Amino acid sequence: MSRPTGSPAPTARREDVTSADGTSIGLLRRGSGPGVVLVQGAGGDARNYDELAEALAAQFTVLVPDRRGRGMSPRPYDGTHDIARDVEDVDAVLAATGADRVFGLSSGAMIALEAARTLPRVARTAVYEPPFRRGGLPATGVRRLGAEIERGDLPSALVSALRLSGTAPAPLRALPRPLARLLAAGVLAGDRILPGHRARLRDLLPGIRYDFRAVSSRDTRMPSFAAIRTPVLLLGGTASPPYLRRGVRDLERTLPDARRIELRGLGHDGPWNRRRGGRPDAVAAELRRFFR
């Protein structure tokens, strides 16, 4: 069972569940109605979904866990980590709360799809731009990122993570790596906890290895998701990188029961809070129709 911990917030209540390997997964609960679990992507925590959760809470019980390795779910990264552990974390939330609907963004979308493929508890799944890349993530780049985090070189890790994911801003893409590292160091030096956020980017970066492990285990295995027999909503934005938009189209052809919607003007951060560049109102409108 989930158990309340601490004082309730005005719009969200903190709870914890225990995953299969003993990891404590903290989550925020809002609203009432059918249960929907929101699985975050890389570089964010549960509070980055605050506005999306609030937009859904009038019709649904919205459950927003921090993924393992960040925020309310601290766990040191283990190089043997597998996406199955992420799915077990989702399953623990589903089992404790009775929820049966799952939404995921980016690497969280990969986890949501794998949960839909393997967990009988999942009745409906919505995903926003799972990062399928033809040819997969370069293994040398993933190893480099891991080594940078291990030695505490977070500016280099930030450059590597953004370039590997294909979401680097133009300056970080164009600059030679030493200059890009200096720019990233400035970003991290000025990093502050904004209102409504739980963690600084520098606190979240070490856990990004969980994200790349989840993605690299599934980004070339799209055909495996043809086994999903429950309905899937595929969301994406017209302002996102081409490979992400292509991946959503390819996934639509793979899934037996899928509907694809492209949201005009949204980028890869579409589901995040507006402060993070998102348009959670547009995403919530589609999720309300699909999950009702």
Q: Where does the pLDDT of residue 135 fall: very low under 50, low under 70, confident under 90, or very high at 90 and above?
A: confident
pLDDT mean over 186-200: 69
Pairing between β-strand 61-65 and β-strand 101-105 as defined by DSSP bridges: unpaired
The predicted structure's pLDDT at residue 232: 98
The predicted structure's pLDDT at residue 212: 86
Q: Is the pLDDT of residue 15 over 70?
A: yes
On average, the pLDDT of the chain sits at 90
The predicted structure's pLDDT at residue 194: 52
Q: Is the pLDDT of residue 4 over 50?
A: no
Residue 41 to residue 269: CA distance in whole angstroms: 9
User: What sign does the CA torsion over 216, 107, 5, 2 have?
Assistant: negative
pTM metric for this prediction: 0.89
* N- to C-terminal Cα separation, the chain: 25
Q: Is the pLDDT of residue 197 over 60?
A: no
Q: Is the pLDDT of residue 188 over 50?
A: yes
Determine which of 15-19, 78-82, 87-91 has the lowest per-residue pLDDT on average: 78-82
184 contacts 33 by C-beta, under 8 angstroms: no
Structural tokens at position 257: 């029961």
Share of the chain above pLDDT 90, in %: 67
Domains of the chain, first to last: 3-135+220-291 (3.40.50.1820), 139-210 (no CATH)
The predicted structure's pLDDT at residue 289: 97
Most confident range (mean pLDDT) of 120-129, 159-168, 202-211, 269-278 is 120-129
Total Cβ atoms within 10 A of residue 177? 13
The predicted structure's pLDDT at residue 9: 39
Q: Is the pLDDT of residue 8 over 70?
A: no
Q: Of the candidates 14, 33, 36, which has an alpha carbon nearest to the alpha carbon of residue 25?
A: 14
DSSP states along 87-135 = HHHHHHHHHHH---EEEEETHHHHHHHHHHHH-TT--EEEEE-----TT
Q: Where does the pLDDT of residue 245 fall: very low under 50, low under 70, confident under 90, or very high at 90 and above?
A: very high
283 contacts 162 by C-beta, under 8 angstroms: no
